[in-house]
Amino acid sequence: MAELKKATDGGVGDRPAGKPERQQRSVRVVMLALMITMLLAMLDNLIVGTAMPTIVGDLGGLEHLSWVVTAYTLATAASTPIWGKLGDMYGRKNVFLTSIVLFLVGSVLSGMAQDMGQLIGFRAVQGLGAGGLMVGVMAIIGDLVPPRERGKYQGMMAGVMAIAMIGGPLVGGTITDHLGWRWSFYINLPLGAVALAMVTLVLHLPKRERAEVKIDYLGAALLTVGITAIVLVTTWGGSEYAWGSAVIVGLIAIGAVSLTGFCFVEMQAAEPIIPLHIFRNLNFTLMSVVGFMSGFVMFGAVLFLPLYQQSVQGASATNSGLLLLPMLLAMMVVSLIAGRVTTSTGKYKIFPILGSVLMVSGLFLLSRMDTGTTRLTSGIYMAVLGAGMGFLMQITMLVAQNSVEMKDMGVASSATTLFRTLGSSFGVAIMGALFTGRVQDEMAARGGGAVTARSAQLDASSLAKLPAAVREAYQFAVSSGTHIAFLVGASVGVIALIASVFVKEVPLRGAGPEATSSDGGAAPAAAVGAKQPEAV
């Protein structure tokens, strides 16, 4: 490893002997900047989702409404692995700052949009930047904090997620009502400016000596086409187009061909976008599976629990968000405990297993809810699910990053993030199709066909206007729909449990005199372990 010149500014990345307190303070400052950036990425869709009815009322183009979300999601998913690879090749900090700037530019342009077509295009720009935000945060944390110490910060990450899920709809509604929908995009600017300033000033990572490399353009193109096809299948299937339609079948074929071609290209590329050798590590592959399944479950639950609470338990839209607190608080507390235990003991295998067991149990309990289930009971069930997610959400990234060499930290982070994103797309699509189908079948059987076409869109106020018999039929149909959706989620969780059982307890880097290499063997600590290189 090339000798690195010592920095004189004392920024994060330095490891001066005898100054652990200064080092810890510096890491905390950078972590604050990274958490602000993570909040920026997570809040956006939740805030904009609340503002969408007002946006459509102003700009028109109701028929293109879904593309405002789809364009953002597609751009984010497709760009995530590319951002990760660029960070590995050209340095994490500058690539991360570029993604923040691109996200903010997309936010400003979206706020200035004059019609729905412009908004869709600018949301795609915003999504391109968003693809680099989460992977940048995770990869930088991987660079700064050895895996053994990383558990200390898991509670912060879970806390940011809880704040975003609870605060997003509330902030979005308040901004839209008092400042106008354009400020649902402009609100990103002050947060982004703070993150940019803090990252620029206090983050100093080691420079990397790299030879001239050739960017894998073909691999990037094939991966982008494949991911786009997958996301469009999960977004359009069963809603815009029938699952057996020519469009969906064609997209499936395009996705399969593109991803197969991508694998062949990556085996030959000098600098592959996603080096396939990282999947030779059993732990990394297993964590990719667990991440996919947890994304499948998590976003499906966040979608259908508010629907159940509004339609069956009579909660308002605002209150249904607050009623998710048992799940989110349990997730945050358990994640914090798991992180502390991991840091103090260096042991982690038990957490994916416990998390999977609790996730399956929570989903099974939620599938038992009916029209008579109280909010207290459903809150307890949600807390069980939240505890399971708390054990899984950060541990999957921790183990995945510990399974690769430092030079592959970016692509490992981006691949894990990508699998979780794809899992959420599949979860929403599959659970949504089953939910809608069951609701429509039950409504047709009980004579409620008048509301069948909009059966998954009735809120508490609309429901109150229905005749008593139709309302009761609809409530039964929704509880039946959530039953099948959560039962499928529990079945998917079993796959995560099986994968977790086979995880090998490889020592975490920074836990001792030896660190681990990407194949699970020992590697010198100076290369990847506890003693970090000094910053330049």
Q: Could you tell me the sign of the dihedral formed by the alpha carbons of 389, 395, 399, 401, in that order? A: positive
Q: What is the Cα–Cα distance from 143 to 147, expressed in whole angstroms?
A: 9
Is residue 535 within 8 A of residue 93, CB to CB? The reply is no
Whether 532 shows a pLDDT value over 60: the answer reads no
Q: What is the Cα–Cα distance from 261 to 249, expressed in whole angstroms?
A: 18
Task: Name the strand (E) or helix (H) holding 210.
Answer: none
User: Which residue in the block uniquely carries the two structure tokens 């229905």?
Assistant: 466
Give the per-residue pLDDT at 448.
53
Whether 76 shows a pLDDT value over 70: the answer reads yes
Whether 399 shows a pLDDT value over 70: the answer reads yes
Is residue 459 within 8 A of residue 317, CB to CB? The reply is yes
Query: Which of 52-56, 377-381, 518-522 shows the highest mean pLDDT?
Result: 377-381
Average pLDDT of the chain, as a whole number: 77
Q: What is the Cα–Cα distance from 57 to 247, expressed in whole angstroms?
A: 30
Residue type, 174: T
**Tell me: the pLDDT tens digits for 479-514?**
888 888 899 989 989 999 999 999 888 877 654 433
For range 137-149, the mean pLDDT: 78
Q: In terms of C-beta density within 10 A (0-12 exposed, 13-18 middle, 19 or more buried), how is residue 296 classed?
A: buried
What the block records as the tokens of 302 is 């966040």
User: What secondary structure does DSSP assign to 98-135, as a single string?
Assistant: HHHHHHHHHHHHHHT--SHHHHHHHHHHHHHHHHHHHH
DSSP annotation of 514? E
Q: What is the Cα–Cα distance from 501 to 505, expressed in whole angstroms?
A: 11
Percent of the chain with pLDDT over 90: 12
Task: Name the strand (E) or helix (H) holding 524.
Answer: strand 522-524
Domain 9-213 indexed as CATH 1.20.1250.20: yes
User: Which of 141-150, 178-187, 443-452 comes out lowest in average pLDDT?
Assistant: 443-452
Q: E strands of 75-224, at which residues?
A: none
Give the per-residue pLDDT at 318.
59
For range 114-122, the mean pLDDT: 85
User: What secondary structure does DSSP assign to 281-299, as a single string?
Assistant: SHHHHHHHHHHHHHHHHHH
Q: What is the Cα–Cα distance from 404 to 532, expressed in whole angstroms?
A: 16
List of residues 6+ apart from 149 with CB closer than 8 A: 343, 510
Residue type, 337: I
Rg of the chain's alpha carbons, rounded to an integer?
23
Q: In terms of C-beta density within 10 A (0-12 exposed, 13-18 middle, 19 or more buried), how is residue 4 classed?
A: middle
Give the per-residue pLDDT at 363.
92
Residue 281 phi/psi, 5° resolution? Answer: -80, 120
Is residue 103 within 8 A of residue 188, CB to CB? The reply is yes
Is residue 369 within 8 A of residue 475, CB to CB? The reply is no
Give the per-residue pLDDT at 236.
80
What the block records as the tokens of 503 is 């995880």
The 3-state DSSP class for residue 241 equals: strand
Buried (b) or exposed (e) across 170-183, using 16+ Cβ within 10 A? ebbbebbeeeebbb
Q: What is the Cα–Cα distance from 23 to 28, expressed in whole angstroms?
A: 9
Single out the residue of 396, 34, 38 nearest to residue 205, CA to CA: 34
Q: In terms of C-beta density within 10 A (0-12 exposed, 13-18 middle, 19 or more buried), how is residue 75 classed?
A: buried
Angle at 137 between CA 511 and CA 149, to 5 degrees: 15
Single out the residue of 271, 141, 157, 210 nearest to residue 532, CA to CA: 141
Whether 293 shows a pLDDT value over 70: the answer reads yes
User: Which residue in the block uniquely carries the two structure tokens 């649902």?
Assistant: 184
The 3-state DSSP class for residue 515 equals: strand
For range 289-311, the mean pLDDT: 81
Q: In terms of C-beta density within 10 A (0-12 exposed, 13-18 middle, 19 or more buried), how is residue 456 classed?
A: middle
Single out the residue of 494, 520, 486 nearest to residue 353, CA to CA: 494
User: Which residue in the block uniquely carries the two structure tokens 């194949």?
Assistant: 519
Q: What is the Cα–Cα distance from 498 to 381, expressed in whole angstroms?
A: 22
Give the per-residue pLDDT at 498.
94
Angle at 403 between CA 399 and CA 408, to 5 degrees: 115
3-state helix, strand, coil in the chain (%, to 5): 75, 0, 20
The CATH T-level fold of domain 277-505 is: Growth Hormone; Chain: A; (1.20.1250)
Give the per-residue pLDDT at 461.
57
Whether 24 shows a pLDDT value over 80: the answer reads no
The 3-state DSSP class for residue 205 equals: coil
Q: How many CB atoms lie within 10 A of CB 25?
A: 11
For range 7-12, the mean pLDDT: 38
DSSP annotation of 277? G
**Beta bridge mates, 514:** 524
For range 15-20, the mean pLDDT: 44
